[in-house]
Structure 1
């Protein structure tokens, strides 16, 4: 996996399953996802070398999507924005608590939560508070 990633709040989404349901309802489940942001990452080359966008849901990192590319788009207001194009797969990760923040932040590879093992991907999601507490003591 890449050495540099992005981390962002997934506003209005509580779990990876809800993210998938939302994408399914919009007809984008099996197509790349486009997430638009105001700022263009200055470390684009590093991000495009295997980076992912890690999603914080209910105060806990719970999933990631691989970054395919960054596209420049211009809004109706004439302002240049960055469309982060993500692979359609939503990969569940171990729980990692994160405080709220605005926009996105860089996340070093060594600080990124690891992917859940294949035998745990179908596990029921823990309540965010419990996941945060287990993560704090190193059990999740």
Structure 2
């Protein structure tokens, strides 16, 4: 079981990579390791089956375009006593074959069989553009 989330205000994988180092510091959530942290309001009910086995699939400009492996889901309580879920992820951004996804609020579960495949290591940016165009045409 995976998670899919809109990457609001971020237009490209490269832009998300540039934020990676800053996010933990924005939220006063330094886990003392080289990770990427995203804070969300609710803890997933299926937490046990996700930790260490799932990825968060990022939606940018109406398409799932990359994923990051989820290392763990951690409860965070702010100074006012409000609880959150910190999604502690690997820093690795793994590009996927672009897959259209309509806007939604929060995050959603994504079954493994419904997740878009990773772009192969031997593929380049041109093949990603071709895959995106084929997807828009309904051929992928």
Residue 79 of structure 1: aligned partner: 82
Shift of 1:134: 2.2
Offset at 1:135? 1.2
Quote the Cα distance in structure 2 between the aligned partners of 1:84 and 1:117. 26
Unaligned segments of structure 2, at least 5 residues: 25-32
Provide runs of 4+ in structure 1 moved above 3 Å: 124-127
Partner of residue 10, structure 1: 7
Distance in 1 (CA, whole Å) between partners of 2:139 and 2:99 is 10
Change (3 A) 1:23 1:111: same
Does residue 106 (structure 1) correspond to residue 109 (structure 2)? The answer is yes
The alignment covers a number of residue pairs equal to 130
* Residue equivalent to 1:123: 125
CA offset at residue 123 of structure 1? Answer: 1.2
Deviations 1:23-71 (A, max 9, x none): 25x398x921111010110001111151000000000000000000011
C-alpha root-mean-square deviation of aligned residues, in Å?
2.3
If the length of structure 2 is used for normalisation, what is the TM-score?
0.83
**CA distance in structure 2 between the aligned counterparts of 1:9 and 1:54, rounded to whole angstroms:** 9
